[in-house]
Amino acid sequence: MRKAYILTVALFAVAFSLAFASDPDPLQDFCVALKDYSDSKSAVFVNGKFCKDPKLVKAEDFFFEGLNIAGNTDNKVGSNVTTVNVDMLAGLNTLGVSLARIDFAPYGENPPHTHPRGTEVLVVAEGTLFVGFVTSNTENRLFTKTLNKGDVFVFPVGLIHFQLNVGKTKAIAISAFSSQNAGVITIADAVFGSNPPINPDVLTKAFQLDKNVVEELQKKFEVDNY
């Protein structure tokens, strides 16, 4: 009886541990497995960053200055994102957080995009923003809200979202992310400005557009135009 009880507890413990086992979330777009460990030249990237010797860490490793400086919004969309992720602030490594300042010219927009590795929490520091996100297939439900100074809005991880300055003056927002490197995919840039370009036949059918329209959009968004 005792042996049966011990076996039952052991099996339950194994099942319980497997139920909660999972791979860690990726911290970059991909991490290809290194097959030949003797090739040290290819052993460059890891899922995150290599850790600095704790004895060599300084206060400066946890410090970033300049977020008070407005970004240049003189561009096609009228916005600028100043990102403070692990590439800019080394102390964020493994902590799972980062942030950004978003500056908007009057009627400027942070166009539809996604963050594949992080949820975004945005607070309006100045101005008025019209924001929203779209849920995944097949419902594709749109949630929108007009935000004023001090208002907060959440954009769930991976969902397409946007922010538009609906005021006649500049706007500023601060966003926090649940990843040290949340990543960003701007939809129009990725679809029509990929390098090399996506075959126009693919986009013609996907968007139900004339092929000439697709090719014109690809010229507008090609990488060289940025």
Residues 184-211: tens digit of each pLDDT: 999 999 999 999 999 999 999 999 999 9
pLDDT digits (tens, 9 = 90+) for 138-185: 999 999 999 999 999 999 999 999 999 999 999 999 999 999 999 999
Q: Which residues are annotated binding-site positions for Mn(2+)?
A: 113, 115, 120, 161
Task: Take residue 168 and report the two structure tokens written for it.
Answer: 């006649």
In this prediction, residue 55 carries a pLDDT of 85
What is the pTM for the complete model shown? 0.83
In this prediction, residue 54 carries a pLDDT of 86
Q: Which residues are annotated binding-site positions?
A: 110, 113, 115, 120, 161
Task: Take residue 225 and report the two structure tokens written for it.
Answer: 């135009």
pLDDT digits (tens, 9 = 90+) for 70-98: 999 999 999 999 999 999 999 998 888 99
Of 101, 107, 94, 144, nearest to 125 by C-alpha is: 101
Locate the domains of the chain by residue range.
61-183, 190-221
The architecture CATH gives domain 61-183: Sandwich (2.60)
Q: Which residues are annotated binding-site positions for oxalate?
A: 110, 115, 120
